[in-house]
């Protein structure tokens, strides 16, 4: 192993982990504890005052989760990470670091339906306001930006359509206006894309999906890119002004290029509490060890399925960036040469009812609201994940009434296609 520059697969197995010093256990233990013993009163005071690093309470940090955090940060090329109970929990803490009542942020129209709902409805309770833009034309962002705008949010690979986004172009506009770019990298994972290398400042993940990969554990993560100057504009007081609960510490001044991750932990996770369970951290770590193997198989299978569907007489259209004639193919080649991911959409010529019968007649595919499992999965977004949106919003998000979303698993390709074929006969 190269000491200075280990490869991705090596990091996926080893980053953050060492044999347990007491028991010599090779695998990271599950530290199933709520609290930790202090050495003495001075040690406790130093921990609570952010003058020393260490464990206080599992709502805030845990040794199993700490290994997961270091591993995710290493895979993304970030300075630090914070594990959370879910991807939604990660997004809440990210925006809590940035926003104040009356502020707004700019977000891509094509997002996971749950994110659209969180941004457009739940965040209104904090008076955090979202403004939507079309990622196909980054210049449309500029008309939406004002002195209350605090961030730009996109997905590197948009759910549900599997559409790649020009991260660098969007980052250029965001940075020209002094705004951080936040990228949800759930669908691509750092195996396919490392958004920090293209101008992103903060990464969020639903580790529940491809990173864990086995459909057995909820989890989320925030990765600090360490690239944004949180003090320059004075617009981010959580990081740039003294914190009274920590004796006047200025987090950006004290922690530099990992201050955002620290703030999310000690100001967000501490008080909102979306903490990752140690058992889930253990299972997610185990899943990440095979991430590069699984993601490549996902991509290879998905391309095979997309090519087959493209030729089927009952299929009206296929939206998969890995196809040579797909409008999004050039961005896929630019940002993700290893493959176009596992999730994509298609439509049947007979519309909604045909899609409904198709989904109901699949046998190998599981009909459920998830992606990123080793198993092949299917769903009709308009009636499930994007149901809370208006018909116009559904179409804008790539989840119109005729859309079927596949998350192609790592089974044998011939078996996946055989199941699709028999279901299409019934449709």
Candidates 260, 271, 211; CA nearest to 87 is 211
Residues 264 and 311 in one domain: no
What counts of helices (H) and strands (E) characterise the chain? 17, 14
pLDDT of res. 3: 61
Output 367 or 427, whichever has higher pLDDT: 367
The DSSP code sequence of 36-73 is ---SSHHHHHHHHTTSS---SBTTT--HHHHHHHHHHH
Q: Is 2 a domain residue? A: no
Of 246, 265, 287, the position where a domain reaches its end is 287
Residues 270 and 324 in one domain: no
Side-chain half-sphere of 22: how many Cα atoms within 13 Å? 2
Least confident of 137-141, 253-257, 395-399, 418-422: 395-399
Question: Tokens 């100057």 correspond to what residue?
Answer: 229
Q: Is 1 a domain residue? A: no
- Please say if the pLDDT value at position 389 is more than 90: no
What is the band of 139 on the pLDDT scale with cuts at 50, 70, 90?
confident
- Please say if the pLDDT value at position 1 is more than 50: no
Residues 209 and 306 in one domain: no
Residues 69 and 212 in one domain: yes
Of 261, 287, 313, the position where a domain reaches its end is 287
Residues 360 and 212 in one domain: no
Residues 20 and 72 in one domain: yes
Domain with 26 in it: what CATH number? 3.40.640.10
Question: The pTM is what?
Answer: 0.95
Of 262, 287, 312, the position where a domain reaches its end is 287
Residues 273 and 307 in one domain: no
Residues 152 and 280 in one domain: yes
pLDDT of res. 2: 53
- What's the structural domain count of the chain? 2
| Average pLDDT value for residue range 196-214 | 98
Q: Quote the domain boundaries for residue 332.
A: 292-426
Q: What is the pLDDT of residues 233-286, one digit of tens each?
A: 999 999 999 999 999 999 999 999 999 999 999 999 999 999 999 999 999 999
Residues 150 and 235 in one domain: yes
List Cβ neighbours of 168 (8 Å cut-off, separation of 6 or more).
Answer: 198, 199
């Amino acid at each position: 192993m190269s000491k200075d520059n280990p490869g991705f697969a090596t990091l996926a197995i080893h980053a953050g982990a060492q044999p347990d010093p007491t028991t010599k256990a090779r695998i990271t233990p599950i530290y199933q504890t709520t609290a930790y013993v202090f050495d003495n009163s001075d040690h406790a005071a130093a921990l609570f005052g952010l003058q020393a690093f260490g464990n206080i309470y599992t709502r805030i940090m845990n040794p199993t989760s700490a290994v997961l955090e270091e591993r995710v940060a290493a895979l993304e090329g970030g300075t630090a990470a914070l594990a959370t109970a879910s991807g939604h929990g990660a997004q809440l803490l990210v925006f809590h670091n940035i926003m104040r009542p009356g502020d707004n942020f700019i977000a891509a129209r094509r997002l996971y339906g749950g994110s659209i709902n969180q941004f457009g409805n739940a965040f209104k309770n904090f008076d955090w306001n979202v403004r939507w833009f079309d990622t196909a034309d980054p210049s449309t962002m500029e008309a939406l930006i004002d002195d209350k705008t605090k961030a730009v949010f996109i997905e590197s690979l948009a759910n549900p359509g599997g559409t790649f986004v020009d991260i660098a172009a969007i980052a250029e506009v965001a940075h020209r206006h002094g705004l951080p770019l936040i990228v949800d990298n759930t669908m691509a994972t750092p195996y396919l894309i490392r958004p920090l290398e293209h101008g992103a400042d903060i990464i969020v993940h639903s580790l529940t999906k491809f990173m864990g990969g086995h459909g057995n554990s909820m989890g989320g993560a925030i990765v600090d890119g360490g690239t944004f100057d949180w003090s320059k504009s004075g617009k981010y007081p959580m990081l740039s002004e003294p914190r009274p609960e920590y004796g006047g510490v200025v987090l950006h001044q004290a922690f530099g290029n990992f201050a955002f991750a620290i703030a999310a932990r000690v100001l967000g996770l501490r008080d909102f509490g979306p903490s990752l369970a140690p058992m889930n951290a253990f299972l997610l770590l185990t899943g990440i060890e095979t991430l590069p193997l699984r993601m490549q198989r996902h991509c290879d299978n998905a391309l095979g399925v997309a090519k087959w569907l493209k030729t089927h007489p009952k299929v009206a259209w296929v939206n998969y960036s890995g196809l040579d004639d797909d409008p999004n193919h050039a961005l896929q080649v630019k940002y993700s040469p290893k493959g176009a991911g596992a999730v994509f959409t298609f439509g049947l010529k007979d519309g909604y009812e045909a899609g409904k019968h198709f989904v109901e007649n699949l046998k190998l595919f599981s009909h459920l609201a998830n992606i990123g499992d080793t198993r092949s999965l299917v769903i009709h977004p308009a009636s499930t994940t994007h149901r809370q949106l208006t018909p116009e919003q559904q179409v804008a998000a790539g989840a119109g009434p005729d859309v079927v979303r596949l998350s192609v698993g790592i089974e044998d390709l011939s078996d996946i296609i055989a199941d699709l074929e028999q279901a299409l006969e019934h449709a």
